Structure 1
Amino acid sequence: MAQKRIVYQGEYFELSYEKVKPQIADSLGILETPIMLFLHGWGSNKELMKSTFAQYFNEYEHIYLDMPGFGNSPNENPLTTLDYAHIVEIFIKEVSGVEAKNCIIVGHSFGGKVAVLCQPKEVILLSSAGIRVPKSLKVRLKIIFAKIIGKCGLGRFGKIFRSSDVKAMNEGMYQTFKNVVDEDFSSTFSAYKGKASIFWGKNDSATPLFCGQTIAALISKSRFFPMEGNHYFFLHQGGNIEKLYRSGV
């Protein structure tokens, strides 16, 4: 594991990452190899991605990154998804000398949105966020009550309505969560001109299957692969994903 300090909009970001040298390149003595960058989902970290993919796609140099606020990359600054994309672009350029547009970026959930914003030549999307899903009545009511409390000057009590995955966050990351949680990326997917291999869990309840089908329809150069499993369907399926990716379908 390594740390890289970058500067973005006058703020320092300490980013934790890990490089995995390609086995094929090592055996052949190849010095320059293509880069595959892995971006985790919201609330996750680089270790989850590494545990799935480290032994696959062996002709690439893997770079696993903890994005700001996750894993071992601290953050207290409110950020947008576009901020994350700019930070990733600065990071990959400084640690590899290669621009993000010349990488293949693998992104799960929130990481998928960040990946597409980086405009790489190719993305591998794993149950990417970015298509709005209708909220349940319970969630809508919680949002309404939280807004009412805020308008009444009782914002500190609004924390009781926060979802379980954000209650432990600092205020900067909570504001970040609000910035990114309900974005419609339809136009962003439609504008993406690179290649996209889109993998999805058939039983995904966080980003349902129709979200993947919609993204595949929006990206002109795309392939869509529904697979067994939920939002984390890709765990223990790195080999199957690689086979489908190489299938040429």
Structure 2
Amino acid sequence: MAVKPIRYRGETFRIAYDIVNPEADRDLIFLHGWGSSKEVMKQPFAQAFGAWRHIYIDLPGFGKSSNDMVLQTEDYAAIVDLFLQNLGANKEAAVGHSFGGKVATLIKPERLVLLSSAGIVLPKPFKVRAKIALFKLLKPFGGTRLRNIFASSDAAGMAQNMYETFKNVVDEDFRSEFAAFDKPALLLWGTQDTATPPVTGETLAKLMQKSEFSLIEGDHYFFLKNRHPVISKMEAFLETV
């Protein structure tokens, strides 16, 4: 692992990263989902795509990368862009899982692979809406302790700035950003994904002009449990770069 300091909006972010196949002349950027890290992305992919230089990044506030600010998704993309410039990397292709899919879309690679990307907001079930309403009612009396009781597993126990960041990004509707992406895109989704259900991938496929959509057996982390068909589809897609 290496760490590179990146200055953004007057703050220094220490960005942790790993490089695989450092002698390869084409760059393949991997961006993990919320609450995850580069290690999750390395598990299924580090031994694949031998003709590419893999760049695995811990996004600010996750893994070994620092963050003391409240950020928007656009800030994450700007920081990743600065990091890639500093590293001297190109954006021939990027792979983004869940939240990382939104960031990967914003950095505008030549080829984009989305793995169960976040960004298509679906109506919340009544139980969830009732929980949110109760939290807002009790919030003035409970502070951080109440937040930890009501927070989803994605937000529980995190630092206040990351909790505020989570609130900024969790319900973003990225339809317009996805529709604006005009390069080739491969959309892969898990058949049993409940975090970003397959219908969100189908919606994305209709929005993105040059996309292809496939379902693969598995949940939100289908690429960990069923890596071989994922890698096969990605290899075929990346061969045309």
TM above 0.5: yes
Give the structure 1 partner of residue 15 of structure 2.
15
Please state how far the C-alpha of 1:208 moved relative to its aligned partner.
0.4
Partners of 2:212 and 2:167 lie apart in 1 by: 31
Q: Which runs of 5+ in 2 are unaligned?
A: none
Identity %: 49
Partners of 2:16 and 2:162 lie apart in 1 by: 17
SS of the aligned residue for 2:49 comes to: coil
Output the TM-score relative to the length of structure 1: 0.90
Please state how far the C-alpha of 1:154 moved relative to its aligned partner.
4.8
CA deviations 1:157-187 (Å, max 9, x no partner) are 5412112332210000000000000110011
Give the structure 1 partner of residue 32 of structure 2.
40
Verify: 1:212 aligned to 2:201, yes or no: yes
Partners of 1:155 and 1:208 lie apart in 2 by: 32
* Matching residue within 64, 68, 81 for 2:73: 81
Give the structure 2 partner of residue 237 of structure 1.
226
Partners of 2:60 and 2:75 lie apart in 1 by: 10
Give the length in aligned residue pairs.
237
The verdict on how the C-alpha distance between 1:136 and 1:243 changes in structure 2, with shifts beyond 3 A counting, is same
| Amino acid in structure 1 at the alignment position of 2:39 | E
Task: Give 1:1-249 correspondences, 5 Å limit.
Answer: 1-21=1-21, 33-95=25-87, 97-99=88-90, 102-150=91-139, 152=140, 154-156=142-144, 158-159=146-147, 160-247=149-236
Please state how far the C-alpha of 1:133 moved relative to its aligned partner.
2.0
Partners of 1:6 and 1:138 lie apart in 2 by: 42
1:56–1:239 Cα contact (<8 Å) kept? no
The verdict on how the C-alpha distance between 1:243 and 1:230 changes in structure 2, with shifts beyond 3 A counting, is same
SS of the aligned residue for 1:59 comes to: coil
Partners of 2:16 and 2:96 lie apart in 1 by: 17
1:200–1:225 Cα contact (<8 Å) kept? yes
The verdict on how the C-alpha distance between 1:70 and 1:57 changes in structure 2, with shifts beyond 3 A counting, is same
| Amino acid in structure 2 at the alignment position of 1:40 | H
Larger deviation: 160-169 or 183-192?
Answer: 160-169
| Amino acid in structure 2 at the alignment position of 1:112 | G
| Amino acid in structure 2 at the alignment position of 1:93 | Q
CA deviations 1:53-80 (Å, max 9, x no partner) are 0111111000101001111112221111
| Amino acid in structure 1 at the alignment position of 2:89 | V
SS of the aligned residue for 1:5 comes to: strand
| Amino acid in structure 2 at the alignment position of 1:41 | G
Give the structure 2 partner of residue 25 of structure 1.
none
Partners of 2:173 and 2:134 lie apart in 1 by: 24
| Amino acid in structure 2 at the alignment position of 1:51 | Q
